[in-house]
Amino acid sequence: MSMIEHTTTPPPRATGTPGATPSSTADTRGPARRAVLVRAVAAVVGLAVAAGVILAAQQPGTGLSPQGAVTLMVFVLAVWFWIFTAIDDTYIALGAATVLVLTGTMDTASLFSTLGEETIWLLLAAFVIAAGVRASGLANRGAAFIITGATTPRQLAHLTTLALVVTTFAVPSTSGRAALALPVFLALRHALMGRKALIKALAILFPSVILLSAVGSFLGAGAHLITSQILETATGESFDFATWLLLGLPLALVASHICAEIVLRMFTSVADRAERLTISARDLEEHSATPVTGPLTVAESRAALLLGAVVVLWCTEPLHGLDPALVALIGALIAASPSYGSVELAKGLKSVPWSLLLFMAATLALGNALVSTGAAQWLASGALEPIRSLGAAAAPLFVVLVVLLSTFAHLVIQSRSARSAVLIPIVIALSPAVGVDPVAAAFASTAAAGFCHTLTSSAKPVAMFAAVDGIETYTPKDLLRLSSLLAPVNVVLVLLFSFLIWPHLGLPLFP
């Protein structure tokens, strides 16, 4: 796999240097002053909200314990820092969890025990397995095998979409899948030289499908594991790999292929789509770091066998009783074994996003505190008052609001895992009061949160494909055009699955 480096050049500062005209200086200072003003207003609003929460929680008869009030205060401040500051998300989450321990709201063991949760170990081992798959070259060969069957732009778009959906089971993060897919896109770009509209459409399609298809796998995003763990703490129920696959994969396939069609129609003309294609495996191989033709190598065969065995064992957990984290750990040991594996354990562990794991552990601690101290329940009961008065309409309206809020939350909270850490405890606490199953509501919220396409800063895959090899592939205006249609489509799809499809698959909204 080739290594892609991204560099950015900051705009020159507006100073009093010779040659700088008054108008250019004003043009630069204006946005800077507005940015400072926005941050100042945001700071005042955020602190005012935090103060209001504290004062409201301290009123007699509120039903909120002192521990709950402290937890709610820390929660609100953490959300404010996530939204309005450039401080690293993991730093904020760890800081918030530390404050809860120092104030006596949460004991030290509860904080550090989250690092030992099986979901953390599951993700860690899955990253090592993914490193082995990448090192073997299996992913590039599989993508080439699928893509070279295309003879028209529409076939290419949908076959690419299918290949990207499959990678959901090989790499346990959207940014990791984007890094895996980027060399394939580069090879396609060279093979399609001269087809600018189609290349632009593919550049948008790759990250869009990567984000929408993540819901197809339990390991598709760290947010899924956070949702499951908070659910288990609050209700005693959680998701396993097979259940998530049954519920999420149909949505992933439908949403991804609809997205492919939208991208094609929005960024290519009728003439572009009518022109025939001829993409051979050798065309891709010329610009790929690993061979994509000929018989499978020993490393590729072993990687395919290992990945298939691990996925099957995850899906058949009720039959053999092996914990998914243990299965992943065994798979990681095999992937890094000297005689069988294709990657050294040290290199595999270097590929693990440790910041993500620490972030998950800290947000799990924060979410558990919201539930255990009653803070989430108190916040939910206050927010429910306007909805309760609607009677029978309260439950469906609540589901619609959850899906809408989860879809557009990426505009204020960029981290997918942070959005789940913020939304899921509240959704779980709100659901029973309006007659909605908390597991179904949490799954709908997490599925809707997979939409984060509006800005280049909304998700790492979108940023990675925005400028490849120093060449701009799409503009912020292109993303806004796509989101204006894709966002409502995504909302409708999640609602259709919530009300019509998932109840028939064992996840009813109204128990």
Which residues on adjacent β-strands are paired with residue 467?
Answer: 472
pTM beyond 0.85? no
Outline where 214-323 has alpha helix (H).
Answer: 222-235, 241-267, 270-274, 281-285, 298-315, 317-320
How high is the pLDDT of residue 46? 54
438 inside domain: yes
* Residue 237: C-alpha distances to residues 102, 294, 502 (Å): 30, 47, 17
Q: Are 433 and 470 in contact (CB under 8 A)?
A: no
35 inside domain: no
165 inside domain: yes
459 inside domain: yes
Distance CA 246, CA 239 (A): 11
User: Phi-psi bin for 127: left (phi > 0), alpha (psi -120 to 50), beta?
Assistant: alpha
How high is the pLDDT of residue 500? 93
How high is the pLDDT of residue 118? 83
Q: Could you please report the per-residue DSSP string of 105-120? A: SS-HHHHHHGGG-HHH
480 inside domain: yes
289 inside domain: yes
**Total of domains in the chain:** 1
How high is the pLDDT of residue 54? 55
How high is the pLDDT of residue 80? 85
What 8-state DSSP symbol labels residue 467? E
Q: What is the mean pLDDT of each run of 10 residues along the chain (511 residues)?
A: 39 39 41 49 55 54 75 86 82 91 88 84 88 80 75 89 87 82 80 82 92 90 87 85 92 95 91 80 65 75 89 86 89 89 86 86 85 78 67 84 89 80 85 88 92 82 79 83 92 95 91 75
16 inside domain: no
User: Phi-psi bin for 130: left (phi > 0), alpha (psi -120 to 50), beta?
Assistant: alpha
511 inside domain: no
How high is the pLDDT of residue 23? 40
**Domain that residue 481 falls in:** 42-505
Any residues with CB less than 8 A from the CB of 488 and at least 6 apart, and which? none
